[in-house]
Chain A
Amino acid sequence: MRHRWISVLICAAVSAAATTACGTGGASQTADGKTELTIATFNEFGYEELFKEYEAAHPDVKITQRKTGQGQPHHQNLFTKLGAGSGLADIEGVEEGYLSQVMSKASQFNDLKEIGPKVEDGRWLDWKTQAMTTKDGKLIGYGTDIGPLAMCYRKDLFQQAGLPSDPEGVKALFATWDSYFAAGDQFVAKVPGVAWFDSAAQVYNAMHNQLETGYYDKSDKLVVDTNADIKSNWTAVTGAVAKGQSARLGAFSNEWNTGFKLGKFATKTCPSWMLGVVETQAGPENKDKWAVTDAFPNGGGNWGGSYLSVPKQSKNAKKAAELAAWLTAPEQQIKAFKAKGTFPSQVKALEAPELLEQTNAYFGNVKAGALFATQAKKIKAAQYKGPADGQIQETVFSPALQSVEQGKNADEAWTTAVEGAKKAAK
């Protein structure tokens, strides 16, 4: 903030070339006198229809969405512009993995208890709200969705391998990680050219998020090399890679997309939001081949889930908080869930009949709502995330696991990963 004038100076120099580059927050009024609210999201929040609904109910508001494909560039942008002191949207999506980095900069976000409208007590699951509340009791983000984990699998490929393929029958395969990897051995022996899972990092991250303690303990101390659970997860996953269970496709890459289209792997760790991704990538030609079941190795788990926050640099903080509170109300979150499978974090929404009856046509009309509600109940608490948690997952452990898939020795890669985590946490 101290150095705000520098960005102003640079903006002034640059604006001759690109007038839209700076201070988008400043252009808060449109030509016809409406208040323009910008909202920055990543992946799929499922808000497109809701914006129209809100604009219809509030004729004085115009909503502009800035959508980023992946979480990482979105949050990079978030932190850069927090530092610059300008350029952020009125409402910024924050993903759970970046939560602690955001919490350490909590002073730059509005306390929604203070500026936001009155929100009923107990709207969200307790742990969801707790994670976004500062030590002095400020709430800096409204919970949107959570990511209860289930398992997606290819029915046709399971049949080909002689494995059970109905949603009840596969549950035994997905009881524990041991049974999961054992079934993987069986599968790759029977179906040549097709792997058991898409990439090591995808499986590892799911396992990791089930742990009670992750990369950090609750006093923000990095425990990556002393937490034995992390090492044993690493050993299990890299062991499966050595046996050819991985399709070696980095998640969200072009080759990963191709892998979905060509059916190069038989299972996918599926948080609720992944259903939309699978449908988009596998495409209509693979409809009814994918199925999802309410089982997940070692119980349940949570991957992802987001919040809506209002940075202090927003010029329309009050109206932005109103919109954010409206979007995160149970009624709206159910619509978002129907649109893109973003699973609501609101207690009422979890019991709503619309949710329990919701089906997914792409996944053979499975009752997706009830299924993920069951999975959500298996989650005991969200794992505590330390300051560099998201960075360690995305830029240290995932690449290290990929290097094992590219043929690097697993022990050497482990050493690299531990060193990398220490460097990231510095």
Chain B
Amino acid sequence: MTATLSKVDRGRVQETRPRPPRRYRLSNLDTKVSPYLFVAPFFVLFGAIGLFPLLYTAYVSLFDWEVGADEPLFIGLENYRTLFEDDQFWNALFNTFSIFLLSSAPQIVVAVVIAALLNANLRARTGWRMGVLLPYVASLVALTIIFGNLFGPQYGLVNDVLGLVGIDPIDWQASTFGSHVAIASMVNWRWTGYNALIILAAMQAIPRDVYEAALVDGASALRRFFSITLPMLKPTLIFVVVTSTIGGLQIFTEPKLFEPSGGSGGGTEHQYQTVVLYLYQSAFQGLDLGYASAIAWVLFMVVIAVAALNFFLTRRAVR
């Protein structure tokens, strides 16, 4: 279309413009090229460390590619076929979603409550607000090792405390649900405060006059919270859900360091092996890069599917 349009004679005589002087040509070039140069760093970086690994992983996943092997063997979609028949993969996918639900769901509820408390008239308000962010500042690895000790099956503090109130010790390593709770508690400890601050920021953006009108109409504090605060927080809550979905589906450090002997199996029977941990195990213990790449791509697809689901829910919710 554009090609034909440009040939149409619009009845105007083309003015032959004088050739601009040399220095203008340079500044002309400047206005045309510079913007691309300014945005280039992002695209170059994204290409090198975002797009390229993504595509190269897809390429590797089509091979039987062992670390250090001389000649990788092309096997097409064989890795994917094996993967879909691999019980350990489905188990890992289940664990990932289970830990994700156990961490994200309570976390957002608690974060909203904390945000509401921080939004009230407190003494030393800034101190409290900074305080909830402290777990986020602490090193993830240190945090995980400490939690690993707390949840030690035999000499852990958590079981000691449970013993005081008459509950039998739980083998946090052996039990699937127990290990998921332990790992989810690490995630919650770290992220609840962070999410609370985001929600708090959104709460403060809610116009005061809406609350005043409700107050004049005689709405109680609880009513105001459920009828004004929560609905107006919706876009922010969805943002928090989306980010925690993406983070939650890629959980790795916590289950990796929760394994007491330092392996990557995620428990003696893979009770808490997540998808990324299985990926890691395939790549760096099994040294099977092709298979690990296939896991990476399937996980990528799962994250996209969940993110897309979130996107459509978001659009409906906001309208």
Contact = CB atoms under 8 A, between A and B. Distances in A.
Interface of A: 1-2, 6, 9-10, 12-14, 69-70, 72-73, 76, 79-80, 82-83, 105, 107-108, 248-256, 258-259, 262, 391, 394-395, 398-400, 402-403, 406-408, 416, 424
14 contacts: A10-B53, A13-B45, A13-B48, A79-B287, A82-B67, A82-B68, A83-B287, A253-B260, A253-B262, A262-B155, A391-B285, A395-B281, A395-B285, A407-B171
B262 A406 contact: no
B284 interface: yes
A248 B154 contact: yes
A408 B174 CA distance: 9
B56 A254 contact: no
Contact of B268 (A1, A73, A107, A400): A400
B56 A6 contact: yes
A60 B108 CA distance: 60
A13 B45 CA distance: 7
Nearest to B269: A403
Among A12, A14, A70, A399: residue with most chain B CB under 10 A: A399
A80 B284 contact: yes
Contacts of B48: 9-10, 12-13
Given A79-B67, A258-B155, A399-B269, A391 B286 contact: yes
B67 A406 contact: no
B146 to A, nearest CB: 10
Contacts of B53: 10
Q: Is the interface of B mostly helix, strand, loop or mixed?
A: loop
Contacts of A402: 268
B135 interface: no
B141 to A, nearest CB: 14
A399 B67 contact: no
A182 B253 CA distance: 42
B4 interface: no
B269 A83 contact: no
A406 B286 contact: no
Given A250-B260, A399-B268, A406-B174, A255 B284 contact: no
A254 B67 contact: no
A234 to B, nearest CB: 15
A406 B285 CA distance: 24
Contacts of A252: 261-262
B255 interface: no
Contact of B265 (A255, A256, A395): A395
A10 B149 contact: no
B152 interface: yes
Contact of B263 (A1, A248, A262, A394): A394
B148 interface: yes
Contacts of B154: 248-249, 255, 258-259
B153 interface: yes
B261 A105 contact: no
A254 B269 contact: no
Contact of B260 (A254, A394, A408): A254
B68 A403 contact: no
A21 to B, nearest CB: 13
Interface in B55-79: 56, 67-68, 70
Contacts of A400: 268
B67 A408 contact: no
A394 B48 CA distance: 36
B49 A13 contact: yes
A255 B173 CA distance: 12
A10 B285 contact: no
Given A79-B67, A80-B67, A399-B269, A10 B263 contact: no
Nearest to A254: B149
Contacts of A76: 284-285
Contacts of B171: 406-407
Contacts of A424: 286
Nearest to A250: B261
Contacts of B281: 395
A105 B70 CA distance: 9
Given A10-B48, A105-B68, 8 more contacts: A1-B70, A72-B285, A79-B68, A255-B152, A258-B152, A395-B265, A395-B281, A399-B263
Contacts of B68: 79, 82-83, 105, 108
A403 B287 CA distance: 25
Contacts of A248: 154
Nearest to A401: B268
Given A403-B269, A406-B173, A406-B174, A251 B285 contact: no
Contacts of B67: 79-80, 82-83
Given A76-B284, A395-B285, A407-B174, A70 B262 contact: yes
Contacts of A83: 67-68, 287, 289
B268 A253 contact: no
Contacts of A406: 171, 173-174, 268
Nearest to A388: B286
B82 to A, nearest CB: 10
A105 B287 CA distance: 13
A250 B67 CA distance: 29
Contacts of A399: 263, 265, 267-269
A86 B129 CA distance: 46
A92 B189 CA distance: 39
Nearest to B155: A258
Contacts of A249: 154
